[in-house]
């Protein structure tokens, strides 16, 4: 199955970020707060949303930073995804 977002919605997959503590321990995503960096999987078509024209600026494959608790979490075929509106994305990671 495939998720196809509508309007200004974007399907994201959170990226596991490893961090090393000062003492040298490696923390995976499950050992710390929810990561904020995600990969864009699918992008809606944009168009008229709430009476305003929305042009989609993110593209599949890009890494982005989102608000920590924004969006709706869904599980499809055992994979976890987050669906957010484009305006919940704060930055593109280059």
Distances (CA, A) of 56 to 4, 11, 18, 23, 67: 14, 13, 30, 43, 18
To the question of pTM greater than 0.85 for the whole model, the response is no
Query: Taking Cα atoms as reference points, which of 7, 88, 87 lies closest to residue 42?
Result: 7
pLDDT tens digits, one per residue of 59-74: 999 999 998 788 999 9
Answer yes or no: CATH 1.10.3720.10 is held by domain 9-93. Answer: no
pLDDT tens digits, one per residue of 16-50: 765 666 676 666 555 455 558 999 999 999 999 88
């Amino acid at each position: 199955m495939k998720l196809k977002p509508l309007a200004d919605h974007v399907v994201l997959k959170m990226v596991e970020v490893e961090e090393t503590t000062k003492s040298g321990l490696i923390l995976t995503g499950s050992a710390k707060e929810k990561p904020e960096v995600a990969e864009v999987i699918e992008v809606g078509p944009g168009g008229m949303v709430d009476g305003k024209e929305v042009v989609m600026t993110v593209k599949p494959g890009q890494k982005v930073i989102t608000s920590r608790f924004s969006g709706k979490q869904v599980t499809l075929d055992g994979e976890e995804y987050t669906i957010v509106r484009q305006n919940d994305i704060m930055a593109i990671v280059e």
